[in-house]
Structure 1
Amino acid sequence: MTTQHTRAQRYRLRAGRALPWFVGAVVVLVVGGIGLSMWAKKGGASVGVVATKTADRAPARVMDFEITTTAGGELDARNKRELRSELDREANIVKIVDEGTRVKAGDILVELNGEQIQQQLDQETLEFESASAQKIAADNAYDIQL
């Protein structure tokens, strides 16, 4: 008489046989670990094994702790003055005072190329004078009509 088992029943039968072996292996590992630990504490460690029963100790005290770092950047003067041009366009520098030169109030520090600006100023002056002359002529013509 043969008994046929389902797949689930066969799995349970195999699992039931493996459980005692698994429990036995865990017990052997735990007991072995405890024994090894006790043996190492009693000084039974051999030459090649590092003993873990000592620790380095030092008294705690307040000391200096110097930290040195490297960093990049720029150094600026404490009383730095930054000068900016108020022009609305670029202008070439004709003359500039050398760095580190002592200056006093009223000294010219930078001289810009003013040819373009002077030309524009002359043009605007001519246009203004022309407009003024036209206004005077218009006022005279108005006065004549009255």
Structure 2
Amino acid sequence: MSQKQLVFDQLDNLGIAYKLMDHPPVYTIEDMEQLKITEQGEVCKNLFLRDAKGKRHFLVVLNKDKQADIKSIQAQLGCTRLSFASDERLQKYLHLQKGAVTPLGVTNDPEAAVEVVLDSSLEGKEQLGFHPNDNTVTIWISYGDLIKFIRTNGNIIHHIEI
């Protein structure tokens, strides 16, 4: 079964409505803008971070137009120094490749080891865009349904100001 099919099955099992948009592979927000994907709803950036000891891993989700202040995120989470996690860690914890990072990747985290960090400005949004573990598709779901999806997997969710 494909990575994206795992996401679709989980969404269907939870009764979460979603829209799909197929497109060529995209790796950056700029790629998405060129294909006009960002005109369909609020596309999110996703950053995979780790603490200084590599014991905690965070998937940070924010609006595509915002810049992440890593020191502010660290302070709000009360953790040791944050840095970007390696491709190997991304593969180990979420079984994802660079360019396909998504909060929907928690489907690949049965131990719920990755903590999901959501920018509070996303709260209440009706159409958030993410890859379903595959960067050739963008899926649109509501913020409330995103929370439901993550909670069902058991991952810790943090709401912070980015």
Settle same-fold status: TM greater than 0.5: no
The structure carrying a bigger helix percent of its residues is 1
The structure carrying a bigger strand percent of its residues is 2
Which one has a bigger Cα radius of gyration?
1
Higher relative contact order (CA 8 A, sep 6+): 2
Give the TM-score normalised by the residue count of structure 1: 0.16
